[in-house]
Amino acid sequence: MTARAFSSLLFYGVPTLLAGIAFAAAGTSAAFGQSPSPSAIDFPAGRRAAAQYKVSATPLSLTEVAPASRHESERFRKTQRAYVESPLVLNAALAQPGVAALSVFRNSTDKVGWLKERLLVTFPGDGDIMEITVADDKAPKEDLVALANAVSKAYYDEVVFYEQSQRTMPLQILQSSLRRLSGSVRDKAETLHQLEVDQGYDAASSAKRQWLKDEARLLRKRIEDLQTQHFEEKLRRLRTDADAQEDDASAKETEAKSTAIDELFAAEEKLLKDRLAETLASPAANAPAPSTDLELRREELEWLKETEKSLTRRIQLLQIEIQAPNRVSAIGQKGDEVAAVQFYEK
């Protein structure tokens, strides 16, 4: 039997023994990580006021689907129960106007302790509904309703609303970072442009110069490849001539073919060399290259622009994500943020 069950027996007497045993049994089940149900936990008091919240077992997301495990769901429930029973919430409840002056506290020197002894947080039927109950068989109905409402409101204000506001913090931080980054990109782009003007740098000419450099490199490679092919062809003919036994007519025909092949290679090589010379003689190819400082500044600016794009995409996702419903929501009238309190009497 738990300490709370024992104190309940002392307060309500022997006739409530069975209810006290049920309460202790519920404490045992909770120790094994199970959420108590109304059949397992039931206050001996017949008078109680309760508020209910829907607690989603899975984090709500509009962009990702990640079902929570049983362990994660149970941990979240335990966390919410601990929040409701915490000094943070109980003190906030008692600090609400008129609550500390209720008649039930007239002879109490420990209001937090008195309220905690009469507070129970359960998940009926081991479901997703969290019930916050304040029960006392001798307390006036109005006081029980006021206390349940105070605890419910304190839980919403100190936990649910606070965590909801925290969801917007990453978005605010990223938006602030994006504003600073965009300002830096703008300033660096203006500085780079002014330096290019001062140094006579022209982006179009630079692009043309780079294209001509690439073209010259390809032409040199083709000339080298052609010369290699021509050399290999000559070696092949030398081996063939050494092994062949031809008459004068055949030898002359072979020599004529070799000469024609050599002329084709020579003509192709001349054509490529002429194109290379023309490329290298282009004014754009001889334009001054940008300074190392300009190149470094340009690379830095491109990196910052890519970071800016990535940050913008992240902000867009977060703007969608914060529209997801809260994982904890009140049960009551439509549009209510704090759960409605119901009074029960056996």
pTM reported for the whole predicted model:
0.54
Alpha helices (runs of H) in the chain, residue ranges in sequence order:
3-12, 17-31, 70-85, 87-94, 111-117, 141-155, 161-167, 169-198, 203-243, 248-281, 292-321
Averaged pLDDT for residues 197-215: 73
pLDDT value of position 242: 63
When mean pLDDT is compared across 21-35, 63-77, 155-169, the lowest value belongs to 21-35
How does residue 117 score in pLDDT terms, banded at 50, 70 and 90?
very high
Greater confidence (337 vs 98) lies with 98
| Whole-number Å distance between alpha carbons of 95 and 251 | 117
The torsion defined by the Cα of 244, 249, 255 and 261, in degrees rounded to 10, comes to -100
How does residue 46 score in pLDDT terms, banded at 50, 70 and 90?
confident
Greater confidence (278 vs 165) lies with 278
Task: Look up the CATH architecture of domain 45-168+325-345.
Answer: 2-Layer Sandwich (3.30)
Q: At what angle do helices 87-94 and 70-85 cross, to 10 degrees?
A: 40
pLDDT value of position 287: 62
Greater confidence (36 vs 231) lies with 231
When mean pLDDT is compared across 173-187, 208-222, 229-243, 281-295, the lowest value belongs to 281-295
Asked if the model's pLDDT at residue 186 lies above 80, the reply is yes
Q: Which residues contact 73 (CB under 8 A, 6 or more apart)?
A: 57, 58
For CATH 3.30.1890, list the domain ranges present in the chain: 45-168+325-345
Tokens describing residue 205: 């000419």
